[in-house]
Structure 1
């Protein structure tokens, strides 16, 4: 018998299917940071919230007025888990106190990356989120089997050079899929 290793989705996008009922994930594009037999972790990358980087910096270092440019740096809702915890996706390059390389993109979770961005010496491109999406062992696989998600290869251009409101459709277009034409019904041969 052939030993078949499972396929994991680390460093890919998840596209929420149009019938996704969970309000945390309806109409979302999620970047998968980690996926193993023990579960998965991802960051929703197309849901900006009311906060911007200036708001966050006022909390982290209230004695310093944030530069005006920080008001135009959006903060995204990364998912419903630990919504007070920050995550910064950025192109591979500078390292910060807590940076992990993920095949052409890096994830930093320390405050120094936020200060570097604010001070104009950090990554020029970034997606800053609060919170993350988490799946227990087998949960994401079950959701995929029930057609809750489409998977899409990672594309840095979608993440960093596409307006947030266009990222979901851009990822679907990469697969040549029109989300408005999809149905919740699935057939299995």
Structure 2
């Protein structure tokens, strides 16, 4: 095996938009990768709350979502479909997983929004509902990483349910033990310097 075809999986990690990333869809985005392999990548943007209440589209799930109790825009793809991402403490294996939840990375997993919410309620640590997702074709994300569009950092279960999503970009960078912590101080509009 040459190693060229091998894609080391970044599933469960965060992609943090660098100040150099020009795409307005991902300006200061923090993306949780739910799937990453040679077929491509899929993730949700954790810090794009919308004005839409979860109860307006998925009534049964509204009581289980944390503050802010709104739908988040997970990315520019399939905006008419909803994804549930939940943290289930101790549910890190398929055997320990409650019905309607599939582990993705550690305690973070995907929720089957067709399942009855009460099945999952006792096990849930936190839940976020996303409209749409971010997707990359084979090799596309790797190219963006080479171009310096994203920082790749470890996720923490609390990132999924951050009560202050507008601060998540800075908070994630600030906790890095490297020069990335300095990037958190980058001004919102570089022309103001």
The normalised TM-score by structure 2 is 0.76
SS in 1 for 2:115: helix
**Is 1:87 matched up with 2:89?**
no
Q: Is the 8 A contact 1:86 1:109 kept in 2?
A: no
Corresponding residue of 1:144:
145
Report runs of 4+ in structure 1 exceeding 4 Å deviation. Answer: 69-72, 119-122
Corresponding residue of 2:128:
127
Q: Is the 8 A contact 2:67 2:163 kept in 1?
A: no
Corresponding residue of 2:42:
41
Counterparts in 2 of 1:70 and 1:144: CA distance versus 1, 3 Å:
closer
- Structure 1, gaps ≥5 residues long: 61-65, 183-189
Counterparts in 2 of 1:54 and 1:144: CA distance versus 1, 3 Å:
same
Question: Alpha-carbon deviation of 1:7?
Answer: 2.0
RMSD: 2.9
Q: Is the 8 A contact 1:54 1:71 kept in 2?
A: no
Question: Alpha-carbon deviation of 1:89?
Answer: 1.2
SS in 1 for 2:143: helix
Distance 1:70 1:144 in 2: 32
Q: Is the 8 A contact 2:85 2:111 kept in 1?
A: yes
1:98-117 Cα offsets, whole Å, 9 max, x none, are x320222111132336x449
Distance 2:30 2:147 in 1: 18
The normalised TM-score by structure 1 is 0.78
**Is 1:105 matched up with 2:108?**
yes
Distance 2:186 2:56 in 1: 39
Q: Is the 8 A contact 2:82 2:129 kept in 1?
A: yes
Counterparts in 2 of 1:20 and 1:166: CA distance versus 1, 3 Å:
same
Distance 1:128 1:112 in 2: 14
Corresponding residue of 1:170:
171
Aligned length: 172
SS in 2 for 1:168: helix
